[in-house]
Structure 1
Amino acid sequence: MDRRLFIQQASLFTMTLASAKILSACNSNADNSSTAIKEINFGVLSTESQANQKPIWEPFAAAMSQQVGITIKPFYVTQYAAVIEAMRFGKVQAAWLGGKSYIEAVKVADAEAFAQVVSADGTKGYYSHLIANKDNPITAEAIAAGGDKYVIQNAAKLTFAFNEPNSTSGFLVPSYYIFTKNNVEPKKVFKRLIFAGNHEACALAVANKQVDVATVSNEALSRLENTNPKARQKIEIIWKSPIIPSDPIVYRRDLPDDLKKKLQNFFYNYKDDKVLSQFKISGFVQAEDKNWHTIRELEIAKKIQETQAKENLSEQEKQQTIAELNQQLKEIQ
């Protein structure tokens, strides 16, 4: 967890009196009733700017408030780590997370998944991409060679942008499939490597020729067609990942059971196509924690390969660490 980020954004996470009352009501749970809770902060990951998020989220939050019977306030953050910390300290009680950020939120923020996003085409998954500017001379070469292979072979000449470390499609998936599996350490090979902070920032960095290659999700590219079509027209996909489990909708485990049920009913039955189309999705379905075991497996497999590549560990230390990681794999399979 990025403690410096938490300190920098302390003003966002300082427990207000209202937030303290919400957390107290959740934790006391004496009658397991939601009657004492007057407001829910719903964490919204900033895959793009807040200005673009608000017109999408406000109608959705209003519909949720009406059905649940409690005011639902979107809680916009600029980093994945921020919403995890906010949930950890009771500032956020529910959220729409990514797979990797959910795994972390389970560990430190008492998060529990109860719904999963269904894409506009009906699938329960999405993809990570590498993108480049259509006018960049490398783009045609990258497509011809295979984008991932080209990036590895020419990294020393390229500037590259990841999303941020808690992003599934913007970091974990491309990091594993492109770099870890090929025993490449991104920090050591690129001409310049940055973390842009969110999907929109990565896409715009490529569109504006600030970097040669960046990571982004297919969902973010679809949204960019609406929010900034000129930028989208400048972007070419040069690599597509295997399918990633779609995003989880989560709440804190200590929410009263009747409030959890109301949130479940809303997400399982919400069918407003006009609102959902803005998210580029068709709706939500019931889900449970094991739906994101694939993400856990990716993280562990990545750690195994990183351990094997470490030169400062003895063979005995490597084998012990790898045995522990393999045991973790067995426990989630």
Structure 2
Amino acid sequence: MIRSVVRNIRKLSAVSLTVIGLLSVSQASEKEVINFGIISTESSQNLRANWQPMLDDMSEKIGIEVKPFFASDYAGVIQGMRFGKVDLAWYGNKSAMEAVDRASGEIFAQVVYDDGTTGYKSYLITHQDNKDINNVKDVLTQASELTFGNGDPNSTSGNLVPSYYVFGVNNVDPNEVFKRTLNANHESNFMAVANKHVDVATFNSTHWSALEGKNSPLLQQVKVIWESPEISSDPLVWHTDLPEDLKKNIKEFFMSYGRDNPEETKILNNLSWSSFKESNNDHLIPTRELESFKAKSK
């Protein structure tokens, strides 16, 4: 009799495991569309052109349509994840921290740049004609006469990093010392400097390299007057509620993408990347330290 009971328990366990497995597959298959959030570092038209080929490849690989999700600022993508309109996203470190803390996000990967590195730098830029502005000291000395183009409040290289390394360590508030301070994305800040609409602005090495790759003549109009220590490369974040088997498929796609396929490499190069590597929420530790300093300063 005991043996009979044991056999029945084993049968029930096997059936239970099968049901759990079927439910897991069902959960993933029920999701007909994945919305991929893309932060607004430049115009959505430019972003769509660079991102769509990879998202199409992702749709084919995982068997679910992947649609880009754009917003007018970084906060819009964070809020999209918070309220279930964004399933996974490309963020900068600061916006990823907000997504992890406020929108049930979790980092699962980070980008590898096209030179093989996993770091980049924040810049301060000005027009080549500004002969009296060549470093941070010049900027701060003349600040009351200058218009400053700051980055999106949730941008790492455009806002958080310079707020510490340029302004925080010098005990100044950019909103108070400049004649005027504006907030915009990287592309808009660069164009504003090149066209002399602002005197100094934040930018970064990734977008500078992208302009070099396009042989942009505007680079001749702009000079870098400060660069930060290295910043960890951008993370990819998914919503923690995604089914586990779907997370597995998504991660497998990114870990293999661009590795042995020239066409995929070309697509990634348009984003200034070469591949992806695994990561987790510990990726945010340096960003949290900078944010903590910023909060204490206030």
TM-score normalised per structure 2: 0.87
Distance across 1 between alignment mates of 2:217 and 2:43: 17
Matching residue's letter, 1:190: F
Give the total of aligned pairs: 271
Alpha-carbon distance, 1:296 to partner: 0.3
After superposition, give the CA deviation of every residue in 1:264-322 in whole Å (9 maximum; x if it has no partner). 0011110121101101111100001001210000010222233xxxxxxxxxxxxxxxx
Matching residue's letter, 1:297: E
Alpha-carbon distance, 1:233 to partner: 2.5
Distance across 2 between alignment mates of 1:227 and 1:282: 17
Q: How does 1:143-154 map to 2 (within 5 A)?
A: 143=134, 147-154=135-142
Partner of 2:195: 208
Partner of 2:249: 262
Q: Does 1:234 align with 2:228?
A: no
Alpha-carbon distance, 1:142 to partner: 2.8
Distance across 2 between alignment mates of 1:184 and 1:234: 28
Distance across 2 between alignment mates of 1:30 and 1:236: 58
Partner of 1:174: 162
Kept in 2, the 8 Å contact 1:47–1:220? The answer is no
Kept in 2, the 8 Å contact 1:130–1:214? The answer is yes
Partner of 1:298: 290
Partner of 1:183: 171
Larger Rg: 2
SS at match of 1:73: strand
Q: Does 1:165 align with 2:159?
A: no
- Larger mean CA deviation between 228-237 and 267-276 belongs to 228-237
Q: How does 1:1-333 map to 2 (within 5 A)?
A: 31-32=23-24, 33-135=27-129, 137=130, 140-143=131-134, 147-196=135-184, 198-225=185-212, 229-271=216-258, 272-306=264-298
Distance across 2 between alignment mates of 1:221 and 1:46: 16
Distance across 2 between alignment mates of 1:109 and 1:228: 39
Partner of 1:5: none
The 1:91/1:228 distance shift into structure 2, 3 A limit, reads farther
Alpha-carbon distance, 1:228 to partner: 7.9
SS at match of 1:118: strand
Matching residue's letter, 1:296: R
Kept in 2, the 8 Å contact 1:160–1:214? The answer is yes
SS at match of 1:184: coil
Matching residue's letter, 1:185: D
SS at match of 2:229: coil
Q: Where in structure 1 are there 5+ consecutive unaligned residues?
A: 1-28, 307-333
Partner of 1:309: none
Q: Where in structure 2 are there 5+ consecutive unaligned residues?
A: 1-20, 259-263
After superposition, give the CA deviation of every residue in 1:18-49 in whole Å (9 maximum; x if it has no partner). xxxxxxxxxxx993330110110100112111
Matching residue's letter, 2:102: V
SS at match of 2:133: helix
SS at match of 2:169: helix
Distance across 1 between alignment mates of 2:198 and 2:143: 12
* Superposition RMSD in Å: 1.6
SS at match of 1:123: coil
Tell me the percent identity. Answer: 46
Matching residue's letter, 1:188: E
Kept in 2, the 8 Å contact 1:200–1:224? The answer is no
Distance across 2 between alignment mates of 1:227 and 1:215: 20
SS at match of 2:196: coil
Distance across 2 between alignment mates of 1:201 and 1:246: 21
Kept in 2, the 8 Å contact 1:93–1:251? The answer is yes
Alpha-carbon distance, 1:227 to partner: 6.0
Distance across 2 between alignment mates of 1:40 and 1:127: 31
Matching residue's letter, 2:133: A
Distance across 1 between alignment mates of 2:113 and 2:39: 17
Alpha-carbon distance, 1:170 to partner: 0.4
The 1:257/1:296 distance shift into structure 2, 3 A limit, reads same
After superposition, give the CA deviation of every residue in 1:102-122 in whole Å (9 maximum; x if it has no partner). 111111110000000111121
Alpha-carbon distance, 1:78 to partner: 2.1
Distance across 2 between alignment mates of 1:223 and 1:52: 12
